[in-house]
Amino acid sequence: MMVRSRTGKIAWVTGASSGIGRAVALRLADEGFIVAVSARSADKLDALVAERPGAIHAYPLDVTDRQALKDAVRGIEQMLGPIDLALFCAGNYIRESAGEFDAGALADLVGLNVVGTGNALEAVMGPMIARRSGHIAVVASVAGYLGLPGGGIYGATKAALINLCEALQPQLGSQGVKLQVINPGFVDTPLTKKNDFPMPFLISEDEAAHAIVKGLSGSRFEIVFPWRMAVAAKLLAALPYRASLAITRRMVRKG
């Protein structure tokens, strides 16, 4: 028996155990969606379900498991109904240095942030294209605009997601499926708490969730926030390399 939502809409959020994914799942539930949430931590998902009983439903999985994503979509659509909105937030963040560069760390993060998102995309695109309806949103980052010292591995994964979404958007749009890319600046999450440097224009998870849900209702391909961080990053990325590299060179830590 399918669960019915107040809005008639079903959302699926990956990376929902913490951070942006968790905050957006709660906000979507408050907006009247029935929300399926996925992450590796079943305990954290159960705690999230307890906050909005009846509105949020847990589907624990690892996004690097391709078959698990397909099985989850099948299970969600059988139990809750066709997925109207798929929001992919699963990912991790690391910092690196040139002197201690680790190709294994690169492979691991690409596997999670890029291939894991690709697994989720593969799982939902087929059913949405068949229905000629649906909405997909992928969380990337302003870090994907250009390479910054210490953030090369993370930024490379987010640049890949931006590029992938840019390529898929026209094709999906022609088949009735809306695709957006979400590029946050610094958001106060468990991941950014790893940072030991000042984070300009830092916003809360709730502020990020508000910006995302508002952006999802609009027609713009890119949802980017906070605006001051977005402007600064876009301007830096638009500079000639001679100028941009002179600026980023000042970000390199001494010692």
With 0-12 / 13-18 / 19 or more C-beta atoms within 10 angstroms meaning exposed / middle / buried, residue 50 is exposed
Encoded tokens for 215? 């952006």
Cis peptide bond prior to 226, omega within 30° of 0: yes
The catalytic residue among 59, 93, 145, 154 is 154
Beta carbons within 10 angstroms of residue 173's beta carbon: 12
User: Which residues, in sequence order, are CB contacts of 209 under 8 Å at separation 6+?
Assistant: 20, 23, 24, 26, 27
Catalytic (active site) residue 241: no
* Separation in Å, CA 173 to CA 12, 45, 129: 20, 32, 10
* Separation in Å, CA 22 to CA 10, 38, 107, 140, 248: 16, 10, 26, 16, 33
Q: Where do we find the tokens 């408050």?
A: 30
Paired residues of 58 in beta bridges: 37
Q: What amino acid positions are annotated as catalytic residues?
A: 154
